[in-house]
Structure 1
Amino acid sequence: MSKKCPKHPKYRGIRPPKSNCKTCWKFYQEIKAITDDKIALDRLAIQSSEKLRELSKKYKNILTENDDLKQIIQAMQTIKASTKRFTISQKKGGASEATAIIVASDWHFEENVRPETINNLNAFNIEIGKIRANNFWRNSLTLINLCKKDITINNILLVLLGDFITNMIHEELAETNLLAPIDACIEVQNILISGIEFLLRNTDCRLTIPCHSGNHGRTTARPRHSNEGGHSLEHFIYHNMAIHFANNPRVSFLIAQGYHTYINIYNMTIRIHHGHDIRYQGGVGGLYIPLNKAIAQWNKGCRADLDILGHFHQFRDGGNFIVNGSLIGYNAYALSIKAEFEKPRQAFFLIDKKRGKTIVAPILLDSN
């Protein structure tokens, strides 16, 4: 390295010289080259140090993952080597006892549902109604036989909740229904009698049949409260059926005289009604809120453990209530009130002698 300029001994070469002295400029360039090299070396050292730290961090993570994998492998080998087995014992003693509940309602047998009016979600006419009714009885028996494999079932509660016919209670229905009300009643009566006889032939159970009128079977413009049955075509059907089975000791009819019927099954009290006295206007909380409010008020007078109802064409298990579906399925009215779409179905469940309501299942109507 050149020595400092003798003419400018105080110049240290840190900044460019202010004079044109060649010696100072040469000294400056040499100092600058040394400084640039040192900076480059320092920068390289820093970069190498950062890479080393990054590699060290990755290496530690790999070591941690390796330890975790070793523990997992060791645990898997321990589980694989285990020969201890959990013992499942077969059921001992007699089968439990239960009553089968079959709910039928809201068939609207003579109503016509044209697919093009409801976005092809459903279709319904007399022929489809007969097919679904046939599936109702057949699939009800299938569910009973399935449950009877492990459960003693000696009694069937066949709950008839009304609205089996649509009737001509509105002008539109008078235009679109496929049968006159009396003709529809005859068809429904024949199907119900045939279904009861089908259950009697294919089971050894006793049938208790509580019967309720719906709001569609009325012969008055507005629903009646104190004398609903006396103005109901379905009430007449039920009495005809009771006469038909009067001499059969396995069949008992309970034809409602008021809005509610109370039945005791084992240690449970069941309250049965069609459901048309529940005021539900389509709120976001669904049917559960108005129905539970109604149940709470009714329980102040006569308490029940379980309510069975129909009317809303929605199969629901609310814990303390069962709402039945429908046989007709989705229609133009349901679409207009923004009702939730549901396929045709009816309700089946068991009341166990010791456990209360247990198995709850839909009775599918569009398939065998």
Structure 2
Amino acid sequence: MRKERKRKPTIKDKCVDLLRRNPDISTSVLTQKLGCTPRHVQYIRNHYFRRGEGAVNPADVVSDTERFQYEEKIRELEKQLKDKRRKELTEEEIRQTILGLKNTGARMPDWIVNPGPSHGTAGVPTLFLSDWHWGETVDPDQVFGLNQFDLEIAHARAQRVVERTIDLLKNHMVSKDYPGLVLALGGDFISGDIHEELTATNDQPVMPVVLDLYGVLIWAIETLQKEFQRVFIPCVSGNHARITRKIQSKNRGFNNFDWLLYNLLEKHFEGNRSITFQITSGEDLQYKVYNHRYRLTHGDQFRGGDGIIGPLGPVTRGDFKKRTWATQVGLEYETLLLGHFHTFVAMDTIIQNGSLIGYNEFALRGNFKFSRPEQALWMTHPRRGITFRVPVQLEDREEAPDMAWVSIPREAVA
């Protein structure tokens, strides 16, 4: 006849036995003797010993032990859920709770949407700022002396882009009266730490760079508002300001110093009704000036190209795919605005911005087309759409010894 195997005492059995022998034994002593947690001991003390337990069904012992394990698992899952919810705060919760911004919703200023009499007006000017790479350094010895960049030079170029924009619009246009100015912010305003070489060679760490740039952008917006009275500022984030090593599709704005910078600027100008921000936590943003619809994006989603056509191929393909999708969902647009490639290109359907940093070691290593530091400026007319487009040059070229306004080769004269 087969002998029935004797059941091995469980932690619960041992604990109850010790409590019966000495009801005053402390939890810490039981913990040391049994090799379990204080919570486990307290659970056994409360649920078994104090209830005057007698004979216990062995099946119940296993069930109660499992129940304790399940309770521990539930607590852990509840903690994970709480952490997950904390990470997934919505954009409005962050803006209202943390930044203290009012829930006004994305609104377009009336002066942009509703065109006034078009006779005699040049339209609404747009200054496109992107790819400043604040904090990055460019060593002239490593780029054939074609460029140099650090925080001191960045400050000078930022001042120039504002002053030269005002000069172009106020002193070189027939009409000097504008309903306002659109200041499109296209991302990559800081160099960031996305590559080890940037972390090692940046002028300063990220946080001081962000604070320094914050002050510069406040000055730029205030100066432009004094000249043009009203300013509309649509904003998208770039890839350099991200805090993740790889580019992510989800929570693009929440993991990006560009987005934080935009919201801090909006908070700063919250009481100024003449300055309006439209900030997205996603990748693209759509707005219109008069009846002309713009799609603003940074441009890092466009990949490919070669040394002959440069980014024109991937940008054109990407624009085609965007327009196909936009038509399907009723978000058609006339002009795509992007930065990222540091080269000014102005077409009817695409405006690609230059940069503040200019040519750097990365561009030289990739044998990319040489480009000077410049930012895009154009005019949107109520009836004619885009009528005037020009790069705002941020560095003057060296003067040639012969400054005649026009010259003809001697052999070309009959």
Which one has the largest radius of gyration? 1
Distance 1:98 1:146 in 2: 16
Matched, 1:251 2:275: yes
AA aligned opposite 1:188: L
Task: Give the distance between the partners of 1:349 and 1:147, measured in 2 at CA.
Answer: 13
The alpha carbon displacement at 1:315 in A equals: 0.5
Determine the structure 2 residue equivalent to 1:122: 147
Q: Is it true that 1:218 corresponds to 2:242 in the alignment?
A: yes
1:200 is aligned to 2:225: yes
Question: Which amino acid is the alignment partner of residue 307 of structure 1?
Answer: L
Aligned residue identity for 1:245: F
Alpha-carbon distance in structure 1 between the residues aligned to 2:153 and 2:200: 20
The answer on whether the counterparts of 2:169 and 2:176 sit within 8 Å (CA) in structure 1 is: no
The CA deviation at 1:358 is 0.9
The aligned residue for residue 26 of structure 1 is none
Partners of 2:234 and 2:278 within 8 A in 1: yes
Question: Aligned to 1:229, what secondary structure does the other structure show?
Answer: coil
CA distance in 2, matches of 1:280, 1:158: 29
Of 353-362 and 256-265, more deviation after overlay is shown by: 256-265
Q: CA deviation at 1:147?
A: 5.9
Match of 2:323 in 1: 299
Aligned length: 275
Contact residue 233 and residue 278 of structure 2 kept, 8 A: yes
Q: Counterpart in 2 of 1:337?
A: 366
What is the CA deviation profile of residues 19-74 of structure 1, one whole-angstrom value per residue up to 9, with x for unaligned ones? Answer: xxxxxxxxxxxxxxxxxxxxxxxxxxxxxxxxxxxxxxxxxxxxxxxxxxxxxxxx
Does structure 1 retain, via aligned residues, the 8 Å contact 2:134–2:191?
Answer: yes
Among 155, 161, 172, the alignment partner of 2:180 is 155
3-state DSSP of counterpart to 1:149:
coil
Question: Which amino acid in structure 2 is aligned with residue 339 of structure 1?
Answer: F
Query: Would you say the 8 A contact 1:98–1:151 is kept in 2?
Result: no
1:233 and 2:262 are equivalent in the alignment: no
Partner of 2:394: 365
**What is the distance in 1 between the residues matched to 2:260 and 2:369?**
32
* TM-score (normalised: structure 1): 0.72
Give 1:166's aligned residue: 191
Displacement of 1:151 after TM fit?
6.2
Q: 1:132 to 1:152 in 2, by over 3 A?
A: same
Conserved? CA contact 2:170–2:176, under 8 Å: no
Q: Deviations over 1:88-115 (max 9, x none)?
A: xxxxx94135111100011111111111
CA–CA distance in structure 1, aligned partners of residues 250 and 171 of structure 2: 41
Instruction: Give, in whole Å, the separation in 1 of the partners of 2:222 and 2:293.
Output: 28
Q: Is the 8 A contact 1:309 1:324 kept in 2?
A: yes
Q: Which residue, out of 124, 146, 166, partners 1:99?
A: 124
Q: Confirm or deny: 8 A CA contact 1:95 1:151 kept in the other structure.
A: no
Show the counterpart of 1:140: 165
- Superposed CA RMSD in Å reads 1.6
- Secondary structure in 2 aligned to 1:264? strand
Q: Counterpart in 2 of 1:33?
A: none
Provide the C-alpha distance between the structure 1 equivalents of 2:319 and 2:131, rounded to a whole number of angstroms: 21
Paired position in structure 2 for 1:289: 313
Q: TM-score, normalised by structure 2?
A: 0.64
1:326 aligns with 2:355: yes
Distance 1:365 1:308 in 2: 20
Q: For residue 188 of structure 1, report the CA deviation from its aligned partner.
A: 1.0
Task: Find runs of 4+ consecutive structure 1 residues off by over 6 angstroms.
Answer: none
What runs of 5+ residues in structure 2 fail to find an aligned partner? 1-117, 327-331, 398-414
Q: Determine the C-alpha separation between the residues in 2 that align with 1:94 and 1:323.
A: 30
CA deviation map 1:244-299 (0-9, x unaligned): 11111110001112211111211211000001101134253332222121111111
Preserved CA contact (<8 Å) 2:286 2:296: yes
